[in-house]
Amino acid sequence: MRRAVLAMRGTLTPDDLQAAAQELARLVLQLPEVAAARTVAAYVSVGTEPGTAPLLEALRARGVRVLLPVLLPDNDLDWAEYTGPADVVAAGRGLREPNGKRLGPDAVLQVDALLLPGLAVDRRGLRLGRGAGCYDRVLTRLAAAGAEPPCAVLLHDGEVVEHIEGERHDRPVGTAVTPSGVHRLGAADRSV
């Protein structure tokens, strides 16, 4: 499934990606759980991932504190505050990360909403990532601490699927946002 999604993403043009990023930002900003958030954990999109640049700037313009991940050598995530596009730098594995003060892996426990990358999600909320387990660790950390911020995965259209083979450590997310709409997952399985 990963190969198929990546191949499909490879057909997207720069105009497709820019239009999708603008629409994702509009839809995410309208989510009640994001509209009420004071602190949001998000990520810097790279390549053909659903674009986050317009969303990050819009959140910052609203006065929302945005935390961005910093990949650690063991594939866990540290966090740093987003202060603007000029402070996001190239990092290993083709990623872009904030270059500000590291806040530690537990900083995510204080967020009001979490926006995650993914390749696909199923109707139960099981998310397919790149396979390194970075966000599985984050979701496990949240669950272990009893923190339950609303979690949304940002995807392209066609990446909300019927079924993903899960593993024991997988934790479901409650929402997927694609350029064509908001999808509530799990018990609240419906498109808004």
- Give the model's pLDDT for residue 111: 97
Q: What gap in Å lies between CA 148 and CA 109, rounded to an integer?
A: 9
pLDDT tens-digit profile, the chain (192 residues): 888 898 898 999 999 999 999 999 999 999 999 999 999 999 999 999 999 999 999 999 999 999 999 999 998 999 999 999 889 877 877 788 899 899 999 999 999 999 999 999 999 999 888 767 789 889 889 999 999 999 999 999 999 999 988 777 677 899 999 999 999 998 544 444
What element of type H or E holds 158? none
Q: What gap in Å lies between CA 121 and CA 112, rounded to an integer?
A: 21
2-191 folds as: Rossmann fold (3.40.50)
- Give the model's pLDDT for residue 189: 44
3-state secondary structure of 84: coil
Break the chain into its structural domains and give their ranges: 2-191
Whole-Å CA distances, 96 to 9, 46, 56, 90, 122: 19, 7, 13, 5, 27
- Give the model's pLDDT for residue 172: 86
- The runs of H, that is alpha helices, within 41-169 are 53-61, 134-145
